[in-house]
Amino acid sequence: MKNWIPVLFGLLLVGNIAFPVKAPDNDIKEGNARFQVITPMVIRMEYAPDGNFENRQTFFVINRTPQQVDFETSTSDGWRFIETSKISLQYRQNSGAFSDSNLVIQLKAGPEGKKINPIAASKDSIYRDANLGGWRHDLGFVKGSVDLYDGLLNRNGWYLFDDSETAVWNGAVDSSWVEPRNTSEEYQDLYFFGYDHQYKQALRDFADLTGHPPMLPRWAFGIWFSRLEDYGADDFRHHILPQMREHRIPLDALIIDTDWKTHSVRKRYNFPNQYLLGEDMLVAPIASPGDTASQLVWFPSGEWVNYFTGEKITGPKTQPVAASLETMPVYVKAGSIIPMQPYMDYVGQKPVEPLKLRVFASADGEYELYEDSGTGLKYREGNFAWTKFTYSEHIERTLTIYPPEGEGYSGMPKKRGYEIEFVNVEKPDEVMVKGALLNSVGGQFSYDRNKKKLTVPLPPMPVSEPVRISLE
């Protein structure tokens, strides 16, 4: 029912150290209920029977500092009203814990908006079925698609996040740590997200509230091995690892505990067995058996090129695609520039030299490559670099490599070689590099007529100078 893409352990996403905080200036107290306007789309709703409201950070929520939010609040006929530019909330005064009879919220979307009773509606099956999914405890013994636990995004345009039982940071000066909340069973700590279809803003608000994760080390983007088998040290040392090396299968991490979190990105709800990897790659794994198998794939607008065969498909359209055991349906948007690296046994085994660029021609495109040392937190101090690549089809086919921007990082190369593959191009008469013939700078191009693929090797050149490659 819900599509999934495995990602790294949730604990890697805890990116901030918590400290005690005072009550913010956006407090609206109504008896034993308190409301805090976090953003135009997010309101915290807290009910404490003893009147002791929680201002400490929790294991999930570390930043309740409000943005500059314009809101109005008033009381009338026994109701408390709170209104932002995106949502209107009303709560019956002195009515106790939040329930289906004392709380109504309206999204200001469309001419009439949407009225919601979040306490009751969040338990409704229609609402739950519209959730796009967020995570799953593990993927052990799973074959095919799996259901996910609820995530933040819902096609109904809102989500109720319950933080009532989450541990809090105790705020100790020397060693802040988490501890259970000392609250009654009636205590509630809820966050209402009313985003309508502004999904990206909802994710930004959630990240601001719960803390932005640190950037993962480079090795974490490598190949991970995980299998529920009774393995011992000898199995890894004498069987698994040697076989990986023998068959040239890269390996960066061995997972002993398979407690994975997952994340769902839906581009088209009716085709759950496909996903976008970034903005330029469409992946549609085939899970049915057979030496050659096929499935229906939905292609968004634009021209898409099969990564393995060069076949072109123009969207938007739905089309059956087939793949053998050696390939899988991976399509790249025309104009895309995909950076790659030479084979390594594991990430960081050696410098990325040469850097491979695969250019999918027939449309203009650009790509910015981010690089840092691959480990540590120096990137937070600006120790990183962005390298821009552009491809143009106008007049002549030209790829331009720009000098890196940024402060740089430890181990950053002063020179870099490239191996550039142009896909779906006719054989050029000449290849020019920085205004000179390719062979004059120590390179010679090759052309595969069947695949219409041109390969241009470039020797190491100073990264401080722009490089322009023209096909003439």
**pTM for this model (two decimals):** 0.59
pLDDT recorded at residue 36? 95
pLDDT recorded at residue 292? 82
Same domain, 372 and 278: no
What is the mean predicted confidence (pLDDT) over 429-448? 87
Share of the chain above pLDDT 90, in %: 51
pLDDT recorded at residue 267? 46
What band does 230 get if pLDDT is binned at 50, 70 and 90?
A: low
**Residue 28 one-letter amino acid:** I
What is the mean predicted confidence (pLDDT) over 192-209? 94
Same domain, 23 and 166: yes
Same domain, 296 and 437: no
What band does 261 get if pLDDT is binned at 50, 70 and 90?
A: very low
Number of domains in the chain: 4
Could you read off the pLDDT of 452-468 as tens digits, one per residue?
Answer: 999 999 999 999 999 99
What band does 407 get if pLDDT is binned at 50, 70 and 90?
A: very high
CA quadruple 16, 19, 20, 21: dihedral positive or negative?
Answer: negative
Same domain, 139 and 72: yes
Distances (CA, A) of 399 to 395, 444, 446, 460: 13, 17, 17, 17
pLDDT recorded at residue 31? 94
Could you read off the pLDDT of 80-124 as tens digits, one per residue?
Answer: 999 999 999 999 999 999 999 999 999 997 666 788 999 988 888
CATH number of the domain within which 281 lies: 2.60.40.1180
What is the mean predicted confidence (pLDDT) over 370-377? 91
What band does 262 get if pLDDT is binned at 50, 70 and 90?
A: low
pLDDT recorded at residue 235? 79
Same domain, 315 and 280: yes
Is 77 domain-assigned?
A: yes
Task: Provide the domain limits for residue 412.
Answer: 337-471
Choosing from 333, 349, 382, the residue where a domain stops is 333
Could you read off the pLDDT of 31-44 as tens digits, one per residue?
Answer: 999 999 999 999 99
What band does 289 get if pLDDT is binned at 50, 70 and 90?
A: confident
pLDDT recorded at residue 111? 60
Same domain, 165 and 307: no
- DSSP-assigned states of every residue in 184-241: -TT-EEEEEEE-TT-HHHHHHHHHHHH-PPPPPPGGGGS-EEE--S---HHHIIIIIH
Is the pLDDT at 8 greater than 90? The verdict is: no
Query: What six digits make up the tokens of 104?
Result: 């109504």
Query: What six digits make up the tokens of 91?
Result: 């709560």
121 contacts 114 by C-beta, under 8 angstroms: no
Share of the chain above pLDDT 70, in %: 88
Same domain, 19 and 92: yes
Token look-up 């086919």 returns: 397
Distance CA 445, CA 419 (A): 10
Is the pLDDT at 61 greater than 50? The verdict is: yes
**Residue 106 one-letter amino acid:** Q
CB atoms within 10 A of CB 404: 20
Same domain, 311 and 369: no
Is the pLDDT at 183 greater than 60? The verdict is: yes
Is 149 domain-assigned?
A: yes
Beta sheet of 312-324, edge-to-edge order: 275-277, 281-283, 330-333, 292-306, 312-324
Choosing from 333, 357, 385, the residue where a domain stops is 333
Is the pLDDT at 256 greater than 70? The verdict is: no
Same domain, 202 and 69: yes
147, with CB counted inside 10 A (0-12, 13-18, 19+), is exposed
Same domain, 43 and 67: yes
- Cross-strand partners of 419: 356, 457
Distance CA 2, CA 50 (A): 41
Residues 6 or more apart whose Cβ sits within 8 Å of residue 95 = 101, 102
Same domain, 56 and 190: yes
Strands (E), 393-452: 397-401, 415-423, 431-433, 436-437, 446-448
